[in-house]
Amino acid sequence: MSAVSLEAATQLKTELYYQAQGNEVTLFEYANQHQLPVLIKGPTGCGKTRFVTHMAKKLHKPLYTVSCHDDLTAADLVGRHLIGPDGTYWQDGPLTKAVREGGICYLDEVVEARKDTTVVLHPLADDRRILPLERTGELIEAAPDFMLVVSYNPGYQNLLKGMKPSTRQRFVALRFEYPTMELEQEILIKEAGAAPNLAFKLVELAQALRRLEQNDLDEVASTRLLIYAAKMMSSGMNPLDVCRCCLAEPLSDDPETIKALMDVARIYFDE
């Protein structure tokens, strides 16, 4: 079994907390109703994967998640022949499983995959909704509940890694941003169990760090990192130590930049 296949199937046994930012839940439900593929664009750690997981649970669909990368092949998605004790046999990949079962196949950071890999999505992302398996000669019609969802971070796009217009225009697109200050505070309170005053200070700090993006940082403090920080501070860890390990160090390798980030953190969490 390939590494992708081993990691792809996600069993949604518990309800994950998700705080809606706008009408994304309704839009996703309408896309599902009309069997339309969905593209989610947004920065790192803003809740794209959490949203898809939440919607799979809400719609009672099995979820197959694939983290895309340069070495991802079409066979990793659709399947391959393997050798077993009784000879060769075919094993479906995560995309094929979702197509047959009527689940969601979620390709995270789809622009990281090679173009010759993502081309297999085309017949599934239009009104044909079919998946040709060249190696077995099958032509699989997608189950009525099948849904194709992809995501990427527009900030990472360049001439070599971008979504082809012919692919992008097959999707209904949702744009995610980091939550408003009020919503982000609520997320930290409910997701990390943070006290309201701690949530407020962390979100204020995040806003200050995000304003540094254009000058010093390739990435900004994500909501995900704030949740990590809130959990560790709430358990009693020294706030400035948490700011270093959960915010400054993950955002930069440059000692001077890390020092500058910690100087900002001391404004909010001075010992």
| Residue extents of the structural domains in the chain | 3-175, 181-268
pLDDT band of 15, cuts 50, 70, 90: low
pLDDT band of 11, cuts 50, 70, 90: very low
The more confident residue out of 11 and 38 is: 38
Please give the mean pLDDT across all residues of the chain. 89
- CA-CA distance, 151 to 220, in Å (whole number)? 19
How much is the pLDDT for 6? 38
Rounded mean pLDDT, 2-8: 42
With 0-12 / 13-18 / 19 or more C-beta atoms within 10 angstroms meaning exposed / middle / buried, residue 257 is middle
SS3 200: helix
Residue 166 has pLDDT above 90, yes or no: no
Residue-wise pLDDT for 211-266, tens only, equals 876 566 778 899 999 999 999 999 999 999 999 999 999 999 999 989 999 999 99
Q: Are strands 147-152 and 38-41 parallel, antiparallel or unpaired?
A: parallel
CA atoms within 13 A on the CB side of 78: 21
Residue 159 has pLDDT above 60, yes or no: no
């079994």: which residue's tokens? Answer: 1
What is the CATH number that goes with domain 3-175?
3.40.50.300
Residues in the chain: 271
Closest CA to 243 of 256, 216, 262: 262
How much is the pLDDT for 49? 94
What is the model's pTM?
0.86
**pLDDT more than 70, % of the chain:** 90
Q: Which residues pair with 84 in a beta bridge?
A: 87
The residue ranges of DSSP E strands in 31-113, in sequence order, are: 38-41, 63-67, 79-84, 87-92, 104-108
Question: What residues contact 250, with CB distance under 8 A and at least 6 apart?
Answer: 225
How much is the pLDDT for 165? 81
CB atoms within 10 A of CB 176: 18
How much is the pLDDT for 167? 83
- CA-CA distance, 261 to 206, in Å (whole number)? 10
Angle, helix 196-210 to helix 223-234, in steps of 10 degrees:
140
Q: What are 247's two structure tokens?
A: 């915010």
- CA-CA distance, 252 to 257, in Å (whole number)? 7
Residue 3 has pLDDT above 60, yes or no: no
Residue-wise pLDDT for 67-104, tens only, equals 999 899 999 999 999 998 988 999 999 999 999 999 99
Q: Are 167 and 33 in contact (CB under 8 A)?
A: no
Element (H, E) at 75: helix 74-78
